Structure 1
């Protein structure tokens, strides 16, 4: 983000310096600008088109990440609610406890890792325990298929969430766009008259700021779990609280097999 701002500012400065030295001997008749603006028009158009494409791609990635988070939360909540129909209290508590610990591990371990495009092994501890719980329940139970189906939906939504944590726009495309932005700003500087150019300078500063802000917005939106407009874990947190309430309501005084951050307690089965 800082690099983007610095490069745009340096491009603007270099363009103004070039404008000063290259046009200092221009006559009054040439105050309207050089014909070079006709030559750099295609570059400016290309810059706008690529920037629009990148913005659309980043926005799509952000929306898919948000959808994956809600799908995962809904599937996890459905898994916990389906466990209520298990006739065996111990099996019911185990599934509910795994759901609580899984959501805590996602919120406290995996969410910070996704800022850097990585996953965390912490939630997998509890998904493995869920599979062990399903084996103990067995296919003879009427709710077995519903539990497995909900867990499969949760797993797919988690994978989609992790996929969207990586940048949607390749680094090469982003740097190419940064070069185009610099060329566009410099070329606009060369088209400004040397005298009586205060309105053009003000407009150039505004255009530079808008193009830079758009590129920064792309950079922020393409990594949806970090930055100013990041997707938060509110949905998964709601499931955690609901599952914890159901667990303690069904087994007052029972301890969860994990701490507040989803880490397995020593001695827990």
Structure 2
């Protein structure tokens, strides 16, 4: 488990405070060290040049930070979509099984679908929060496949329904694999290096502006550091869609589980 993933074990509000305190504290220490060695009037004479370079770095880092945020936000939304689509396929398959002529065999597979959904909720989601996979859920899925292979009928209607059930099952497994892949994926190390280094370089440039009002420079530097810490916090929170307080929940599965159980008891 990466450092970013381990940080998500901390409550979100506390993690945000830790990041802000760390970046602001680091920036103020750096500012203090530079101001002790270089008088402000010397740095003030270079404000025009430093300002131009700072603006260039700011634009470049803004692009990098925007791209990084877009990456994790897109993956996060894609994961939520895969979860919703998988639930739709589970429910659709449950409905299609109700149309199959062999009611006894169909009800057995419907019961397996319900068990699978329960395992996703109670075992697979907690496992994904630890960046692991659930063997029991995988076995339940394999059990459904085994039951589907045993379905036989010579009637045309049954063949049509059976084909639709197989398509539901294939799509369901496809979206499940996408969900599991999203639980394992992490923000690339090269992007983390670029994001953190860019933040440190951007903050460091504020040390070399000369200002007669020291407190004004301290406040501006601290605010910049806090803003960058907040953006890094957002990336950490969205990078692991099944971890942390912003994680994708199993609510969709709970709703379709209630629907399937209600349909079976009616």
| TM-score (ref. length: structure 2) | 0.83
Match of 1:98 among 100, 108, 112: 112
Offset, 1:62 = 0.7
Query: How many pairs were matched up?
Result: 247
Match of 2:198 among 174, 180, 194: 180
Match of 1:21 among 36, 42, 45: 36
Do residues 81 (structure 1) and 98 (structure 2) align? no
Match of 1:233 among 225, 229, 250: 250
More off after superposition, 114-123 vs 59-68: 114-123
Please tell me whether the aligned partners of residues 15 and 187 of structure 1 are also in contact (alpha carbons under 8 angstroms): no
Please tell me whether the aligned partners of residues 112 and 144 of structure 2 are also in contact (alpha carbons under 8 angstroms): yes
Do residues 12 (structure 1) and 30 (structure 2) align? no
Please tell me whether the aligned partners of residues 129 and 243 of structure 2 are also in contact (alpha carbons under 8 angstroms): yes
Please tell me whether the aligned partners of residues 139 and 145 of structure 1 are also in contact (alpha carbons under 8 angstroms): no
Q: Secondary structure at the match of 2:149?
A: helix
Go from structure 1 to structure 2 and tell me whether the alpha carbon gap of 1:133 and 1:28 turns closer, same or farther (over 3 Å shift). closer
Match of 2:178 among 136, 148, 160: 160
CA distance in 1, matches of 2:92, 2:127: 26
Offset, 1:58 = 0.6
Offset, 1:31 = 7.9
More off after superposition, 232-241 vs 53-62: 232-241
Correspondence for 2:10? none
Go from structure 1 to structure 2 and tell me whether the alpha carbon gap of 1:27 and 1:174 turns closer, same or farther (over 3 Å shift). closer
Go from structure 1 to structure 2 and tell me whether the alpha carbon gap of 1:180 and 1:120 turns closer, same or farther (over 3 Å shift). same
CA distance in 1, matches of 2:153, 2:188: 45
What is the correspondence of 1:22-41 to structure 2 with a 5 Å cutoff?
22-24=37-39, 26-27=40-41, 30=44, 33=47, 35-41=49-55
Unmatched segments (≥5 aa) in structure 1 = 250-269
Q: Which has the higher contact order (CA 8 A, sep 6+)?
A: 2
More off after superposition, 178-187 vs 69-78: 178-187
Q: RMSD over aligned Cα, in angstroms? A: 2.4
Offset, 1:186 = 1.8
Q: Secondary structure at the match of 1:165?
A: helix
Correspondence for 1:72? 86
CA distance in 2, matches of 1:117, 1:35: 48
Unmatched segments (≥5 aa) in structure 2 = 1-6, 8-14
- Give CA deviations for 1:194-225 in whole Å, capped at 9, x if unaligned: x3243343232222211111111011112111
Correspondence for 1:223? 240
Offset, 1:38 = 3.3
Which protein has the bigger helix share? 2
- Give CA deviations for 1:59-98 in whole Å, capped at 9, x if unaligned: 1001100100000000000011111112333212211111
